[in-house]
Amino acid sequence: MPLEKIVIHERKCLRGEVTLPGDKSISHRAIIFSALSSGTVIVSGLSSGEDNRRTAKMFELMGVTIKKKGPSDCVIQGRGLHGLKEPQAVLYAGNSGTTMRLMAGVLSGQPFFSVMSGDDSLNARPMQRVVAPLRLMGAQIQGRDDGSYAPLAIKGGNLCAEDFAIPVASAQVKSALLLAGFYAQGTTVVREPVKSRDHTERMLQFLGVPVVVNGTEVSISGGAEIKPGHIAIPGDISSAAFFIVAGLLAKDSAIVLRGVGVNPTRTGIIDILQNMGADIVMVNMREISGEPVADIEVRTSRLKGIAIGGAIIPRLIDELPVIAVAAAFAEGTTVIRDASELRVKESDRIAALCAELKKLGAHVEEREDGMVIQGREQLSGAVCTSHGDHRVAMSLAVAGLGARGETVVEDCACIKTSFPQFMEKLKSIMQ
């Protein structure tokens, strides 16, 4: 049944262990590279979120066989770089921006016609940042407002490599261009102002693809083969973020999050929370399929407000909603800046968070590129809404753990896009 609303009460204690679903970003890439590989790939720990199922369904519509082997494992029969078939139906991305942007790179290399669309929210999100460079490579892409918005109609093939300096660090744009680079004549180069998450580069290297990484520059030559193998996916740190903050805020809490991916391009939340005074320790460090993994131990902590901005923002952009919740309970003032990207996510997350945290009694000032939060020792329960955004919904649920009385978060069916088991996992550690 869809999770239409969450009802949550203040909790004095959270204790126990949590195993998170597979990392959503890595799961997208595992599906894509497996489908384009030259043989059979076993993927274990795959995220069960709706977004990843959208990516898998697109490949099935193009002739790729994907068989489930249990709740989080599957076997993907790759068709090689040139084995996909023209889809007979519109490729539907649902609410998944990662699916649409990365698949735009794949489809730009195919010698056939395809159309991608999404739900109302996704079709209102900007696509020009990926459409424009793919057009420079030779892809024919049409869409609303000259390709600024989906649906996107793509006629691919005959690509030529380009040297790109993208103005805003974006793992989605970088990955789309590298995927198109497989099909381009010459060497495709992507330079970013700061390093964005590097799951694409790590997985390509793990699968034997000669991708070259030099600081914030990544390059790939056309025609490289993706070798089949076994891809194991670590726990999703973006999902872990909600439990980390919950464990910090609830009194007398001690929780352990098992097998979480701690890729340095994604651990900005840990750095920031530790700077705020959080008791967070990473233990049992190891590597899985090219990705660093650890168990994360969290204990109740007294947090203090800090300034958050600059180069760290790309390392925690998805975690800023729950960081804002932590700031609402911290001592002093927290300033979040340089985060205007939040305005073009599944919702306008700056406006949504400011509006909903105010309902709970938080002192929040909205700014164009972020917010200023005056921390309080406790908030008060209220009726809130997710604005159709899974990360806003889960962040407000965490806020409810520290608010007096009852907190209701409405419109929570969106949580299934990334973390269907969220409430089940949260209840498992409630004391």
Q: Which residues are catalytic?
A: 318
What is the H or E stretch that residue 320 is in?
helix 320-329
d(CA 162, CA 177): 9
What's the Cα-to-Cα distance from 137 to each of 17, 39, 79, 183, 352, rounded to whole Å? 48, 28, 24, 10, 37
Neighbours of 369 (CB within 10 A): 15
DSSP-derived 3-state class of residue 384: strand
Distance of CA 330 to the CA centre of its chain: 26
| DSSP one-letter code for 343 | G
Q: What residue type is assigned to position 131 of the chain?
A: V
Contact 139, 106 (CB under 8 A): no
What is the H or E stretch that residue 56 is in?
helix 50-61
Q: Are strands 291-299 and 254-261 parallel, antiparallel or unpaired?
A: antiparallel
Neighbours of 322 (CB within 10 A): 28
d(CA 372, CA 193): 26
